[in-house]
A and B are shown apart, each in its own frame.
Chain A
Amino acid sequence: MSTRKASLKDKESKNGTSKYVLERCASVNEYFDIAFKVMLLGDSAVGKTCLLVRFKDGAFLGGNFIATVGIDFRNKVVTVDNVKVKLQIWDTAGQERFRSVTHAYYRDAQALLLLYDITSKSSFDNIRAWLTEIHEYAQKDVVIMLLGNKSDMAAERVIKREEGEKLAKEYGVPFMETSAKTGVNVELAFLAVAKDLKHRTAQQPNEPKFQIHDYIESQKQKSSCCGGNM
């Protein structure tokens, strides 16, 4: 993949790392300015693939649950402040037996979307373990976002939004509830990550730091206004 891209300019030293590189790609189908790797994490069946398909194709994968095998890699180009950002998205299998293979790709990721299912207590309880794992394997400055998925399933909800907010606050990560089925906050989750990453890359010295928390707060739809709170 990388061989087909031509690096136009190495961004002037930013933390001395070369991973934030402005690239302009003339790939066969789509042009982009910057590329970032985003990884979807969380227990099995919390809706990682559905979230991705909603974002990528605007569709909902209803019907039977199909477990992802290993890691699934897809691209989507989004426009953030007139910059074409290519998100290279790793959709991971939540099953325990694939843990080792996902570990190997943690360190490549610049952003992690960590999902739990608001109707499954165990998926929420496992978030702490996921965060521990992230601290062990991922890059130090990785962007993490906590997502409580399936917010449309109000009747089966067992995790209150406040609980998610509290946990997110404890770890200092942004949080929102999403629904792959209705599409609530799905686009926002990916766009917020893209914005944050883009700002980090192209940050001018006098420009204020992008505040992902504030951005999300100003944009997000509360599931309570369309689903009713339990």
Chain B
Amino acid sequence: MAGDVHNKGVSWEVQQNGTLAPVDRLREDRSESPTPGLVEGTEPGAGQKSAMFVHSQSFEDLTADSEVSTETHPEGDCALGEAGEEALCLAAKEKIQIELQPEVEEEVRPESRSKEEDVGSEVWRSRRKHVFVLSEAGKPIYTRYGTEEALSSTMGVMMALVSVVEADKNIIRSIHADGYKVVFLRKSPLVLVGVSRTCQSDRQLSRELQYIYYQIVSLLTLTQLNHIFQHKQNYDLRRLLAGSEHLTDNLLRLLDRDPGLLLSAVTCLPLASSTRDIVSSSLQAAKAKNLVFSILLAGDRLVTLLRKKDQSLHHMDLHLLFNLVGSSSSFREGEGWTPICLPKFNTAGFFHAHISYLEPASDLCLILVSTDREDFFNLSDCKSRFLERLNRRNAYQALKEALKCPSYSTAQVGIPELRHFLYKSKSSGLYTSPELPLPYQSEEEQERLMGLYQHLHSRLHHSTRPLRSIYQCGETENLIAWVTSGFELYLCFSPLGTKAQAVAAVVKLLKWIRKEEDRLFVLNPLTY
């Protein structure tokens, strides 16, 4: 109570500088069947009007703001950066990637071993991916496993590493040693550290740390975060983040499992386009003065998204909203009302979100995002109007029917050796993927498959040697990945298939997606 740090000198309102208008693209002619030279905007799943999301062509766009393209080490290579490389980096931005010798890294680990049982235990040490957040004063803010208190000296060492390297006008990016990758992300006033035994690339790990950073910003705004640490360098931020740990935990789980976060895309509830259009127009009619976004979710799938003209949502912000809704059961019964910063829109101010399920037992959740913190009753009224209209036009029943099969099986595509796939339409920022088939249904197998997709993704989006396509044979499955200017595609086949079959399957799959695109994607995004 005493330190009511927030709202003093911090603006609550969203400023207009966050306007992120998408590029308008009109698509009259949609090609009949996709071809390899396909241009963006005509691929299956591309929206017919302007994009719903902030137009981010690729993974690179998303990571560009903090990434300096200096990562030249191939997977699993722990060699020290060569002199030539370093010179190149220095020339670029005066930042070099430091690959510290294993013995330096060794100093970090005995430190944690000497802690209380919990964080020194084998279980703790054998976790696949640790994530730590600390302040620049070295104060613990978050740890994925164990308690922050027990890790204060470990985090102190992490901060020391960051500072030592910075003292020489360099930036520490990662340490590779002993099968571990330690990735550092410096986002003043916070420092994020990931320690991973997975085969993800440094870039992917760094991107995951960015997600965690933005998760924290979404709760506090960057303005407030800066304000706090400017006034009190050794502030214990856990006080302000109390009760939000499960949001970060859940986000890390999503990062391990949800292909949407990997692809920077969102998946939709399969729905007849006529029904989806009615839902969209009903939501469009239920507008209010300060309403910026209306989002209808079915579980973790998008039903439709409405936005104010000229405003677009970044998928990272949408994923943060998904995460908020997915990790709190408290919206089920009543109507929730919470401030939320959408950091990719504007890190300086809060939006206010009205979050409620259409029915307590239903999976349909409506998120109404307003700029006015006193808008609760207006938005509550919007919701009633939306429901009324939906019922009047008999769309609610159709929607509930569609909820019974929120996914589809790979068998529907009609390619026997195909087990699973991910398809992302770049211009709409939407992806589609069937439900996981049998060998991948357990948690471990699901994460293993995701690991394979992550690996292919890192090869396609490699900063210095990007690939257009890759075919990979394994003992348990064969995979093919292909990226064009219009789409990104990952297919998983039984290990008995051949490369020729795989290539033929790609063409067949693209045809099938084109045929089903009305149902699988939001093709007519509307605005208020």
Q: Which residues of A are at the interface with B, using a C-beta cutoff of 8 A?
A: 1-4, 44, 49, 53, 56, 66-74, 91, 93-101, 104-105, 126, 129-130, 133
Interchain CA distance A214-B443 in the complex, whole Å: 58
Contact, CB under 8 Å: A99 / B7 = yes
Given the complex, which residues of B lie within 8 Å of A133, measured CB to CB?
A: 1
> Would A71 and B336 be within 8 Å (CB), given that A97-B6, A99-B4, A99-B7 are in contact?
yes
Q: How far is the CB of B496 from chain A (nearest CB, A)?
A: 45
> Most chain-B CB neighbours within 10 Å: which of A2, A53, A67, A93?
A67
Partner pick for A69 among B4, B328, B333, B381, CB 8 A cutoff: B328
* Bound: A44/B239 CA distance, A: 11
- Measured CB to CB, the closest approach of chain A to B169, in angstroms, equals 36
Pairwise interchain contact B337-A1, C-beta atoms closer than 8 A: no
Known contacts A72-B330, A96-B4; is A101 also within 8 Å of B352 by CB? yes
11 contacts between A and B (CB under 8 A): A3-B381, A53-B333, A69-B330, A70-B337, A70-B339, A72-B333, A72-B337, A93-B338, A99-B6, A100-B7, A100-B339
The docked-state distance in angstroms from the alpha carbon of A49 to that of B244 is 16
Known A74-B334, A101-B339; judge A2-B377 contact (CB<8 A): yes
**Interface contact A95-B243, CB-CB below 8 Å:** yes
Contact B6 A105 (CB under 8 A): no
Given contacts A69-B328, A71-B336, A72-B335, contact A97 B241 (CB under 8 A): yes
Contact with A along B218-248 (1 / 0, CB 8 A): 0110000000000000000001111110100
Pairwise interchain contact A70-B6, C-beta atoms closer than 8 A: no
Contacting residue for B384 out of A1, A69, A98, CB 8 A: A1
> At the interface, yes or no: B103 with Cβ under 8 Å from chain A?
no
Q: Which residue of A lies closest to B7 (CB)?
A: A100
Do A71 and B377 have beta carbons less than 8 Å apart? Answer: no
B7 engages A98 (CB within 8 Å): no
Would A101 and B4 count as touching, CB distance under 8 A? no
Across the interface, name the chain A residue whose C-beta is closest to B377: A1
Given A98-B338, A99-B6, A101-B337, CB of A73 within 8 Å of CB of B381: no
Decide: B1 and A73 in contact? CB cutoff 8 A. Answer: no
Is B257's beta carbon under 8 Å from chain A?
Answer: no
Chain A residues positioned under 8 Å from B329 (CB to CB): 66
Q: Does B185 interact with chain A (Cβ within 8 Å)? A: no
| B373 contacts partner chain A, Cβ-Cβ < 8 Å | yes
Within 8 Å by CB of B380, from A1, A66, A129, lies: A1
- What is the distance, in angstroms, from B216's C-beta to the closest C-beta of chain A? 11
Judging by beta carbons under 8 Å apart, are A69 and B336 in contact?
yes
Q: Are A73 and B334 in contact (CB under 8 A)?
A: yes
Decide: A126 near B376, CB < 8 A? Known: A69-B324, A72-B335, A95-B243: no
Selected contact of B6 from candidates A3, A49, A96, CB within 8 Å = A96
Q: Which of B370-386 contact A (CB under 8 A)?
A: 373-374, 376-377, 380-381, 384
B2 at the interface (CB under 8 A from A): yes
CA distance A93 to B242 in the complex (A): 11
B232 to chain A, nearest CB (A): 14
**Across-interface contacts of B328 in A (CB, < 8 A):** 66-67, 69
Residue pair A71, B244 in contact (C-beta under 8 Å): no
